[in-house]
Structure 1
């Protein structure tokens, strides 16, 4: 009987607790389950988006150099349906290059601008440098320099300075171009193949290439 009595006391305590806290506890539990369900659903959605975007990106890549119109359609589909994935940024950069090679500068600029507005820091930097190059070809020098404004990840600062040098040299602003190329050289590793081209451009605007640093003993 003692056991039965103890059970009754426990049951009575449980009923009292439930009467006081049960409704709130249910809401907390439901909220927790909903949050987990939402998180799991989001993870599944992200994986599905990536897989589908990857398939479209492969299709886009197979058309590069063959069918610019198809490249642009595939890139547009990826941007509209999977705009939050990295594939959208890669597709836009690829489409911009394809359009440029097809002499469709308007589309090339639009794709690069999309990456600048929607991409992560690294893809934005690449798009800025390429957009400035397109604008340089169009002799839109002020717009090219403006495209290079703003912060970029450190590993892209030398490339940005190099592009600024190109634009300034085209404007015949030789002193400013020299400063830009010197900044580009300062940020470029001596083993980087691009360094030689920067040195040539610096010399072309009347600059002096610094002596290489002596090898460590």
Structure 2
């Protein structure tokens, strides 16, 4: 079909444009396609990782129930090593730490808790790891290190437990006056119906009237 002069000019202009910028257009479209494919791959990869991590976490929980500490430890190590970006990694490390404390492998437990403290993006999980670590340090008669951990910023929801553990550390340092203040703060923060109030009251009564340092 023959083209009139105006149509021919338009076609020639389009050809000239394509000859000059065609490669750029193709490149831009390819970049968009690659980016989209990359996002799709990342999302699929994250979903797959999460599913795999979930399965490992379930296996870890089952191993803990049957006191298979080595399996718990190895599974937690896989979670923190290969699935660190998932929420299961820190939770697995917390469970593994508790299992290793029970098995008297404090060194491994401390390493697992430290990983949580250093890597978890969830303040609540990090607070739980901090409390567990502080408890281990107190068992090791190291109240100064425990207090250094407990003085770090933490979620208000855990203020009662942090204050209680601070009181324990201060008692070990023979600072009964400061310990009483910490225990009283813990009582103030605890819910009225919490059975743990009785425990703190016993601690307060135990140091009542003891000279301060």
Shorter-chain TM band: 0.7 to 0.9
2:97 corresponding residue in structure 1? 96
2:29 corresponding residue in structure 1? 29
What RMSD in Å do the two structures reach over aligned CA positions?
Answer: 2.3
Residues 55-95 of structure 1: CA distance to partner in whole angstroms, max 9, x if unpaired? 11111111114211121111112221112211111110000
2:193 corresponding residue in structure 1? 191
1:172 Cα deviation from its structure 2 partner? 2.0
2:187 and 2:2 map into 1 onto residues whose CA distance is 89
User: Which is further off, 8-17 or 122-131?
Assistant: 8-17
1:213 corresponding residue in structure 2? none
1:169 corresponding residue in structure 2? 171
1:61 corresponding residue in structure 2? 61
Aligned residues: 207
1:168 and 1:6 map into 2 onto residues whose CA distance is 92
User: Which is further off, 113-122 or 196-205?
Assistant: 196-205
Residues 24-61 of structure 1: CA distance to partner in whole angstroms, max 9, x if unpaired? 33333222222211111111111111111111111111
User: Which is further off, 178-187 or 123-132?
Assistant: 178-187
Residues 11-34 of structure 1: CA distance to partner in whole angstroms, max 9, x if unpaired? 334334434543333333222222
User: Which is further off, 114-123 or 15-24?
Assistant: 15-24
- In the TM superposition, 1:120-135 aligns within 5 A as 120=121, 121-135=123-137
Residues 114-135 of structure 1: CA distance to partner in whole angstroms, max 9, x if unpaired? 1111112221111001100011
1:204 corresponding residue in structure 2? 206
Distance change >3 Å, CA 25–CA 129, structure 1 → 2: same
2:77 corresponding residue in structure 1? 76
Residues 158-209 of structure 1: CA distance to partner in whole angstroms, max 9, x if unpaired? 22112111111222211111121222223222233333333332333339xx
Distance change >3 Å, CA 128–CA 16, structure 1 → 2: same
Structure 1: gaps (5+ residues)? 208-217
Distance change >3 Å, CA 76–CA 17, structure 1 → 2: same
Distance change >3 Å, CA 20–CA 199, structure 1 → 2: farther
1:111 corresponding residue in structure 2? 112
User: The residue matched to 1:152 in structure 2 has which SS?
Assistant: coil
Distance change >3 Å, CA 131–CA 30, structure 1 → 2: same
Structure 2: gaps (5+ residues)? none
1:96 Cα deviation from its structure 2 partner? 0.4
